[in-house]
Structure 1
Amino acid sequence: MAVRVASIRRGVCSVLFTSTPLESVAEAQRRARKRLPTAVYASLVAGTEKGITLHDNIQAFDEIGLIPRIAAELPPAREMSTTVLGQEIDFPVIVSPAGAQAVDPGGEVAVARAAAAAGTAIGLSSFASMPLEDVAAANPKAFFQLYWVGTRDDIAERVERARRAGAKALILTLDWSFASRRDWGSPTIPERVTFSTLLEFAPMGISRPGWALRFLLGGIPNLEAPNLRTEAKGTPTFREAYVEWAQTPLPTWEDVRWLRDLWDGEFLVKGVYYPDDARRAVDCGANAVSVSNHGGNNLDGIPGALRALPGVVEAVGDQVDVLMDGGIRRGSDVVKALAMGAKAVLVGRVWLWGLAAGGEDGVRQVLEILRSGIDESLIGLGHKSIHDLSLDDLIIPAGFTIPKMSAMSSVPGKR
């Protein structure tokens, strides 16, 4: 009965999303802005403080040129499949973890289904609104993303839960040190859904009645973080979880090694920026690293992630897979990252815009737009496969990459 009701709700919600197909990621973003309350949309596009890093994540891709080739002998279909964290994916784009979304009641389960339909994997945030077990059931290629929240015992319990749920990899995110300052607003997450809370947020629903109706039909979120549950503490609300996270001492490389010893599967360290940190991650047993600045939501003023990618690839690219995220908006961006040595990319904001624009189908469309953009770029570059991409395909301006750092022993806090 519950399954039938859920199916009916999804059907009604899909009617609310009936619209012309998405033509681009930019169109998904425009529809998201139109359909979401202003404060919710702001949370999807905001970066820390002034947003310098947020802007440079995108600007960096704009500075890279492509070198076209003509009259190449190409097969009817270009090769885009690859293997990341032990999982074969049909094209080199992975759904990046994102927490506490207030975009659509289908949440991460809908996103997981869309990713599965597109033939790729999903990373699930510790702060996701849907349990890992449900997401893994919707997409067997599910990776669990772990923030360092609570005690080692708490973390060990979550790792064991991820193992039981069938998570194919563990992602340790280290590119957010709880920076929350912004020069623009984003919605405050209430403690719980109460009558007074509904009254407080009523103006948001009135301003975007379609958004409110989708949640009324699909289920009002309970504002809990189910993936941070422990037997001793129960399931925290998002606010309780954020407070605990802010009060938890930041992890050290010793903690990273401890976690790696605890998890015997594929292990990705997310947030690597400089070559020395990449080497330390590999020394701790990482199978992969991701070059990331948390989408411009950590330390503002650091260069775009793409500028850091070549240094990390040079340092550890022959030992582990190097991924990157931050600023991906089209398939040609993916191609540029791959030509610089990335094995694949993770995307966050683009799938959130797709979810806002068209629910599960909107996410699927956005992923297909990226896939098509990769294919079109390969044709233009005269390549049969993503594995043929190299620096020879790019025009990189002088001074683009982050200069090599001096000896790390001179940096405070480094050994």
Structure 2
Amino acid sequence: MNPWFETVAEAQRRAKKRLPKSVYGALIAGSERGQTIDENQQAFTELGFAPHCAGSIGERDQSTSILGQPLSMPVMISPTGVQAVHPDGEVAVARAAAARGIAMGLSSFASKPIEEVIAANPSTFFQLYWCGSKDDLVQRMARAKAAGAVGLILTLDWSFSHGRDWGSPVIPEKLDLRTMLKFAPQTLARPRWLATYARSGHIPDLTAPNMAVGDGAAPGFFGAYGEWMSTPAPDWDDVRWIVEQWGGPVMLKGVIRVDDAHRAVDAGVSAISVSNHGGNNLDGTPAAIRALPVIADAVGSQIEVVLDGGIRRGSDVVKAVALGARAVMIGRAYLWGLAANGQAGVENVLDVLRGGVDSALLGLRKTAVTDLDRSDIVVPDGFERALGVPANGVRAVSAPAETPAAESPAVASAS
């Protein structure tokens, strides 16, 4: 089989054929019946283009930046937990992103230490959850800063789904002999995946080294999750405290309402990600792209706005940028590439997106992504979702505490 693939959909098909059933199940998991995960993609199909039929343009320019970091195209890597779909995990993704000139987002629940990932891609943002004591958070931020992280992604858009209509993925706490025997039928049915790990000389690592504090051992995913569950939920003062403690660029991930976007500005964040955690938060939340235009109108002149959720094509990227996003973050798409062909597979996915962006710019007769605007998009009546907009148009000045956050291994948290 030719290792190169020409669509993200093909990367997904190859990942499904290559991965053990439980691992692939984690990649596609969404909350409850999966309404929001489906909506994230379906909403893009409702948007159309308004192309010009003539107009001479030269080479298209896809470059932009996010929080001071240059991007060769308006795409960056969204943080996802324990990337056991491939032995090289987050390091392979970081190398691929660096090779294609985009920034990396590294999860707190990653399987690779932040120092290794930043060595592979110096343009790395560290993703933080409100988990443990404030002293724990300070230590994790200090480690990220010492390693050279260029910014912080504070994720507040994930809750735990206690039931999924298709069944929740089975994710072990650790891979001891008993567990390996239990999962042996699945892994033996996927000999190429098993051979990749055999050549690497180690088994999948389900620990979270970036959650270690002081001289303590790195917890497993479920240990880290348990810590999050026992941590009182943060409020907007806590968000402001994180911004002050970090002392650099902070992106708040998980905004879906206009009033929350305003509060994020008030708390001092530098950017927000319009996101429903790829359909892994509260099922029934609207597609992120539906909430984007109103939020971008409300705060886009004050902070940078990113879209996270449902990106599968370069044309999706262009639609999001035209509706107000500075860039998009991708999750499942690159993980399918990683599963299909390691670092080269991630680079392949990024090349697919770049080609799609270029084609859309050509059809729209746009020289650069920064030239895109809403006149380039056909938005049907009733498409947008204006959540958290007071009926009287007056901004709210206070808010209850945010929902706490967590993240599943690999892709139960991907977008």
Same fold (TM over 0.5): yes
Q: What is the distance in 1 between the residues matched to 2:81 and 2:176?
A: 21
The residue aligned with 1:305 is: 288
Aligned: 1:368 with 2:351: yes
Matches within 5 A, 1:298-377: 298-377=281-360
What residue is the counterpart of 2:407 in the other structure?
none
**Offset of 1:414 from its aligned partner?**
8.0
CA distance in 1, matches of 2:174, 2:399: 42
Cα distance, 1:71 vs structure 2: 2.0
Q: CA deviation at 1:191?
A: 2.5
1:28 maps to what in 2?
11
Post-superposition Cα deviations, 1:190-221, rounded to whole Å, max 9, x if no partner, equal 23221111111111111111111211222213
Instruction: Report the residue type matching 2:390 in the other structure.
Output: S
Q: Deviations over 1:109-136 (max 9, x none)?
A: 0000000000001100001100110000
SS at match of 2:237: helix
C-alpha separation in 2, matches of 1:180 and 1:386: 41
1:33 is aligned with what amino acid? K
Shift of 1:409: 5.4
Give the structure 1 partner of residue 71 of structure 2.
89
SS at match of 1:50: coil
Q: Is the 8 A contact 2:234 2:401 kept in 1?
A: no
Q: Which runs of 5+ in 2 are unaligned?
A: 403-415
Rate the CA distance shift 1:165–1:67 in 2: closer, same or farther, 3 A. Answer: same
- Indicate yes or no: 2:363 matched with 1:380: yes
Q: In structure 2, give the amino acid aligned to 1:162.
A: A
CA contact (8 A) 1:126 1:145 kept: yes
Is 1:179 paired with 2:161? yes
Answering whether residue 93 of structure 2 is matched by residue 107 of structure 1, we say no
SS of residue matched to 2:306: strand
1:187-202 alignment runs, 5 A limit: 187-202=169-184
Matched, 1:123 2:105: yes
| Cα distance in structure 2, aligned partners of 1:403 and 1:236 | 40
Once residues 390 and 412 of structure 1 are traced to their aligned partners in structure 2, the CA distance between those partners, rounded to angstroms, is 32
Q: Distance in 1 between matches of 2:168 and 2:91?
A: 24
The structure richer in helix per residue is 1
Q: Distance in 2 between matches of 1:204 and 1:90?
A: 39
1:12-411 matches, cutoff 5 A: 19-75=2-58, 77-218=59-200, 219-231=202-214, 233-403=216-386, 405-406=389-390
Q: 1:112 to 1:198 in 2, by over 3 A?
A: same
Q: Which of 216-225 and 28-37 deviates more?
A: 216-225
CA offset digits 1:305-329 (Å, max 9, x no partner): 0000011101110011100110100
What is the aligned residue count? 397
Counterparts in 2 of 1:179 and 1:247: CA distance versus 1, 3 Å: farther
Structure 1 residues 163-207: Cα deviation after superposition (integer angstroms, max 9, x where no partner): 000000100001113335322234333232211111111111111
Q: Deviations over 1:322-372 (max 9, x none)?
A: 001101000000000000010000000000000011110000010010011
* CA–CA separation in structure 1 for the residues paired with 2:161 and 2:396: 26
TM-score, structure 1 normalization: 0.92
AA matched with 1:281: A
Pair 1:412–1:260, CA change in 2 (3 A): closer
Q: Distance in 2 between matches of 1:161 and 1:373?
A: 38
The secondary structure found in structure 1 opposite 2:273 is strand
Asked if 2 retains the 8 angstrom alpha-carbon contact of 1:40 and 1:186, the reply is no
Give secondary structure in 1 for the equivalent of 2:253.
Answer: strand
Task: Give the % identical residues.
Answer: 54
TM-score (norm: length of structure 2): 0.92
Q: CA RMSD in A?
A: 1.7
- SS of residue paired to 2:328: strand
* One-letter code aligned to 2:217: G
* Cα distance, 1:286–1:54 mapped onto 2, change above 3 Å: same
Task: Indicate conservation of the 8 Å contact 2:96/2:344, yes or no.
Answer: yes
| Aligned amino acid, residue 102 of structure 2 | T
Do 2:108 and 2:211's aligned partners in 1 also have CA atoms closer than 8 Å? Answer: yes
Alignment partners' CA distance in 2, 1:39 and 1:392: 44
Structure 2 residue identity aligned to 1:49: E
Which amino acid is the alignment partner of residue 312 of structure 1? Answer: I
